[in-house]
Chains A and B, each alone.
Chain A
Amino acid sequence: MVHAAAATHSHLLKKDHLKGFLRKLAKEYRLVAPVRNRHSDVLFTVIDDLDAAEIELTEPPQNSLKQFFLPQQERLYTYTTTAEGYDFQPVQATIPPTVYFGVHPCDLSAVLYMDVVFSRHQRDPFYLRRRQGSVLIGVNCNSPAPNCFCNATGSGPFLEMGSDLQLTDLGDRFLVEIGRAPGQALIERWQVFFSPSADKDRAAHYQTFLEARGRFSRQVHVEQAIRQLEADTVPEQVWTELSLRCQDCGGCAYLCPTCTCFTISDQQLDDAGGQRLRSWDACTFAGFTAMAGGHNPVQAKTGAIRQRFTHKLRDDVRQNGRPSCVGCGRCVGICFGGTDIVRFVERACQGSL
């Protein structure tokens, strides 16, 4: 929660001093930020050499923070099966305290959503050991990318709360807002980098926000699709069409910052044992729900696609008051069949506008 005082209390960080500030952070934390690599791809990357890394704060990174908290594949246990019995040994993992720097509002919202998923019914030890001790430094989006629609999902382009520190690019400087106590601590610890903000800085911040809001190239009527799902008025034809077009690649779920479905499986390593793995899964795969013996309780033709969008846009709204789609647009870019969430929203709303 944003502390009442902190909300009005903001600072300035000159861009010239950003690297210096990050260098201080890197002494005590592992540093993860969006970095442009030599193939020109922007990816959240662990930064070992701050001087060699080209940190990119405008173009959205291709990956989200999901992989850092829920790795694509994670070893949970090793197991042995011997004459004495069948036993599991926990895998020790030391997760260094990490600063995630330059996180866009969509990806920040996604982390907040994951926090709920992994602690609502039960506290998930593997997620939380990675999440605890992490510091999130967000950066607001001044110029949304072509596939972005976070304005329609309530998760951008600017975020008021959720991060530890929240940066806004004001040209030669960042306006820095304190979100939570760890952010406050960072500012106090390295206050030499920061100066107080003035009214004109806050005015510039607001102006930047207004301009960013006007820069979305897509109008995605997420709210309306949510109402259609809740009222169960999405035409059957829409599900049939999208299911026919879905090529079952799972790309949407893998790239999605809030798709957290996983599977647990064993990998035999030798006669005496193996390892138990947790890995990403996708509800669009038929094998996701098929039971031993082959029976699948999910309707083969349309059930999987229906689940994907209904979960994100109806069930999570019921549970959390907001959709778990954060409008990052990654699935729009990756989808093989043109069955991404934007397509769904458009098709669901056709004829009802």
Chain B
Amino acid sequence: MPQPIADIYLPRQARVEQIVAENSQIATFVLAFCDRSYNDGFRYQPGQFMLVSMPHCGEAPISISSTATRPGNIHLSVRRAGKLTHAMHGLRVGDTLGLRGPYGRPFPMEQLAGRDLLFVAGGIGLAPLRAVVDTCLDQRDRFGALTVLYGSRTPSDIAFQGDLELWRKQGVDCRLTVDAAEPGWDGPVGLVTALLDDLAPELDKSTALICGPPLMFRAVLGKLAAMGFGDHQVLTTMERHMKCGVGICRHCHMDGKLACVDGPVFSLAELRKLKILELDG
């Protein structure tokens, strides 16, 4: 008799325990699986994502913004974009949604041990990197200096302010910039690349982790290359439309690679071998 096959597409019910409004478009949902024993045993790594189900909306991939070093909850930080994320923003504490995962290749934390980490993010792009920052902070002596550069459209769009505050207190060098200032803003105005000008990283022990919109992504890549970062020293996580999450449905194709199983985390050296719009366009 054939062995029973695990039902890999079956979402599990999870409950919303807390909702943090990060800005008008982004909220962080603190979730726990309703099945307590499953929740207790649930493990994941920074850079991985979950497939979220909302009633009548199907599924969408959302990267995990919390760290497994703090078990008990999964954080999903979500920007309103399509039907499913709009529905998520209608959730209240106590409501349930469907989750399956974790999926994807995580950030190579072993390889990052001992290195200075430079995080460059724009908007919702800080969500997956937040998982890495918190992991590093929970294992502080494993990693070198931590620097976070974060760009937002306007000061009121700055998300994850609570996290940024906490990170600063723990010695993370956090620098913010906005595209357009508002009254009361005395920080830098301009692209996040400009913040790189003020840094003098020790190249041989630094790795950059980037996540943000395509335009920012390309600008930052150019700048990092000019600063002397090699392609192996730059990591990113790719955003793609996904359905199965397990390397079968192929919606997330990237010139022969699949973002769901070969990524979503890639080094720039790996991406350079692919014809993708993020690098060509």
Of chain B, the residue at the smallest CB distance from A277 is B58
Note all chain A residues with C-beta closer than 8 A to B254. 297
- A262 / chain B contacts, CB cutoff of 8 Å: 243-244, 248-249
A79 within 8 A of B: yes
Q: Is the CB of B256 within 8 A of A123?
A: no
B243 and A128 contact, CB distance less than 8 A: no
Cα–Cα, bound, A281→B11 (Å): 22
A117-B246 Cα distance, complex, nearest whole Å: 11
B30-61 Cβ-contact flags toward A at 8 Å (1 or 0): 00001000000000000000000101111110
In the complex, A205→B243 CA distance in Å? 46
Tell me whether A281 and B249 are in contact in the complex, defined as CB-CB below 8 angstroms, given that A268-B56, A291-B239 are known contacts. Answer: yes
Render A215-258 as a binary contact track against B, CB cut-off 8 A, 1 for contact.
Answer: 00000000000000000000000000000000000000000000
Closest Cβ of chain B to A206, distance in Å, is 37
Q: Are A125 and B249 in contact (CB under 8 A)?
A: no
* Given A283-B253, A293-B82, A310-B256, A128 contacting B5 (CB threshold 8 A): yes
Q: Are A289 and B240 in contact (CB under 8 A)?
A: yes
Total interface residues on A, using CB and 8 Å? Answer: 53
Number of inter-chain CB pairs below 8 Å: 130
When the two chains form their complex, are residues B256 and A314 in contact, meaning their CB atoms are under 8 A apart? yes
Let me know if A123 and B5 touch, CB within 8 A. Answer: yes
- A289 neighbours in B (Cβ, 8 Å): 240-241, 251-253
Q: Residue of A at shortest CB range from B257?
A: A315
Per the bound structure, the CA–CA distance linking A260 and B248 in Å amounts to 8
Neighbour of B96 across the interface among A86, A283, A295, CB < 8 A? A86
A263 close to chain B: CB less than 8 A: yes
Interface: A192 (CB within 8 A): no
Residues of B within 8 A of A88 (CB): 10-11, 53, 98
Residue A122 lies at the interface, judged by CB distance under 8 Å to chain B:
yes
B83 within 8 A of A: yes
From known contacts A292-B60, A297-B278, A310-B256, infer whether A264 and B13 are also in contact, taking CB-CB under 8 Å.
no
Count residues on chain B whose CB falls below 8 Å from chain A CBs: 50
Chain A residue nearest to B281 in the complex (CB): A299
* Minimum distance in angstroms from A10 CB to a CB of chain B: 29
Residues of A within 8 A of B239 (CB): 291, 297
Report the nearest B residue to A89, measured CB to CB. B10
For the complex, is B81 an interface residue (Cβ under 8 Å from A)? yes
Do A264 and B9 form a contact, CB below 8 Å, given A124-B248, A291-B81?
yes
Report if A120 contacts B (CB, 8 A): yes
Within 8 A of B (CB), among A290-324: 290-293, 295, 297-299, 303, 306-307, 310-311, 314-315, 318
**Does B85 touch A at the CB level, under 8 Å?**
yes
Task: Find chain B residues with CB under 8 A from A79 CB.
Answer: 53, 55, 98
Contact A76 B9 (CB under 8 A): yes
A266-287 near B? 1/0 per residue, CB < 8 Å: 1010000110100001010000
Given contacts A283-B253, A290-B241, A292-B81, contact A86 B98 (CB under 8 A): yes
Query: What is the distance, in angstroms, from B260's C-beta to the closest C-beta of chain A?
Result: 9
Q: CB-defined interface of A108-137 with B at 8 Å, one 1/0 digit per residue?
A: 000000000110111111101100110000
CA–CA, A51 and B97, complex, Å:
53
Task: Name B56's contact: one of A123, A274, A314 (CB within 8 Å).
Answer: A274
Tell me, yes or no, whether B198 is within 8 Å of chain A by CB. no
Which residues of A have CB within 8 Å of B2?
A: 128, 132-133
Q: Which of B85, B250, B256 has the most CB of A within 10 A?
A: B250
In the complex the two chains form, what is the Cα distance from A239 to B237 in whole Å?
A: 28
Could you tell me the distance between the alpha carbons of A248 and B195 in the complex, rounded to whole angstroms? 45
A125/B8 in contact, CB under 8 A: yes
Note all chain B residues with C-beta closer than 8 A to A120. 247
Cα–Cα, bound, A273→B55 (Å): 8
Question: How far apart are A66's CB and chain B's nearest CB, in angstroms?
Answer: 14
B256 and A311 contact, CB distance less than 8 A: yes
Nearest residue (CB) in B for A287 is B241
Residues of chain A within 8 A of B20, CB atoms compared = none
Contact A264 B253 (CB under 8 A): no
Inter-chain pairs besides A85-B34, A311-B253, 4 sampled, C-beta below 8 Å: A128-B2, A268-B56, A291-B241, A297-B239
Name 11 A/B residue pairs within 8 A (Cβ), A-sorted. Answer: A85-B34, A86-B13, A86-B98, A122-B247, A122-B248, A125-B8, A128-B5, A261-B250, A289-B240, A298-B277, A310-B256
* Chain B residues within CB distance 8 Å of chain A: 2, 5-11, 13, 15, 34, 53, 55-60, 81-85, 96-98, 214, 239-241, 243-244, 246-256, 261, 275-278, 280-281
Chain A positions within 8 Å of B, measured between CB atoms, are: 76-77, 79, 81, 85-88, 90, 117-118, 120-126, 128-129, 132-133, 260-266, 268, 273-274, 276, 281, 283, 288-293, 295, 297-299, 303, 306-307, 310-311, 314-315, 318
Closest 5 CB pairs of A and B: A292-B82, A121-B247, A293-B81, A292-B81, A85-B96
